[in-house]
Amino acid sequence: MDSALSSPSAAGSTHSAADGTGAMYLSGTDQTLVKLLVAGPFGVGKTTFIRALSETPPLHTEEVMTQTGAFVDDLAGVREKTTTTVAIDFGRITLAGDLVLYLFGTPGQKRFRPLWQDIARGAVGALVLADTRRLADSFEVMDIIEEAGLRYAVAVNTFPDAPDHSVETLRDHLDLHEDTPLVLCDARDRDQSLDALIALVGHVLDHTPMENP
C-alpha cells in the first residue's frame, strides 16, 4: 500500500504516524496497526459483527441483562436480546497480510457518552451500524463521531423483519454526505461484514494524504 498508512518504522517499537491518521507501525513485521470503531445503538449488531470477523477469540464484555437493567436499556424492537455490552468489544482482523485492523465495539447507550473520548483516541475511522426499524437511533452516534472528527461509513444491518429501503432512501434519511459510504450487510455473515469494513477502510484511505516520495 502506498498511502500514508504504510510508512516505514523505526526499529524496536510501534509509533504513531506523523500524518495525523493515528495508524501505528509495528517495526520488524511490516505491519500497520489500525484502530477502527464499530459503533451504533444498543442491539444493532456490534457484538455480532465483531464476532463474525475477528480472527482471534473476540473479547466481549457482555453481561446478562438483569431486571434492573430492563428499566435502563430500551428493549423495544430488540426481541431475543438477553445480554448487553457494558464496556467494549474487541476483535482483530488482518487484511492483505500487513494491515491489522483492531475493532473496538463501542457502546451505543447514551449513558456511555463520557467514555467516547477515550474510546475514540487513536482511531482512524468508525463503522456505524444502523437498523432500518430505528434509523434515528444511529443519529446520536453519528453526531458523536463527527464531533470526534472521525471518518465513518454506515452499514445497515439487514434484520429479516426490518423494512427494505433503497440505498438512496436510506442515504436521504440518514442525511449522509455524498462521500460517506453506505453498505448493507448481515452482521452474522463474515463476507458481508468484511465488505462493510473494507468500504470503511477504502474511505479512510481515500482521505489519507499520500506519503512524500
Ligand X SMILES: Nc1nc2c(ncn2[C@@H]2O[C@H](COP(=O)(O)OP(=O)(O)O)[C@@H](O)[C@H]2O)c(=O)[nH]1
- Asked if residue 187 lies in contact with residue 130, where contact means CB atoms within 8 angstroms, the answer is no
Residue 60 interface partner, choices ligand X, Mg ion, none, CB cut-off 5-8 Å depending on type: none
Rounded distance between C-alpha atoms, residue 45 and residue 81, angstroms: 10
Residues in contact with Mg ion, counted by CB under 5 A, come to a total of 3
Q: Of all helices (H) and strands (E), which one includes residue 22?
A: none
Q: Does 159 bind ligand X (CB under 6 A)?
A: yes
Residue 139 interface partner, choices ligand X, Mg ion, none, CB cut-off 5-8 Å depending on type: none
Rounded distance between C-alpha atoms, residue 152 and residue 129, angstroms: 10
Whose Cβ is closer to ligand X: residue 54's or residue 157's?
157
Rounded distance between C-alpha atoms, residue 104 and residue 64, angstroms: 20
Q: Does 47 bind Mg ion (CB under 5 A)?
A: yes
Rounded distance between C-alpha atoms, residue 65 and residue 50, angstroms: 20
Taking the complex as a whole, how short is the minimal distance between the CB of residue 117 and ligand X, in angstroms? 21
The site map against ligand X for 33-72 (x = CB under 6 A) is -------x-xxxxxxx------------------------
| Cross-strand bridge partners of residue 155 | 129, 183
Q: Which residues bind Mg ion (CB under 5 A)?
A: 46-47, 85
Q: Which residues bind ligand X (CB under 6 A)?
A: 40, 42-48, 80-81, 85, 157, 159-160, 186-188
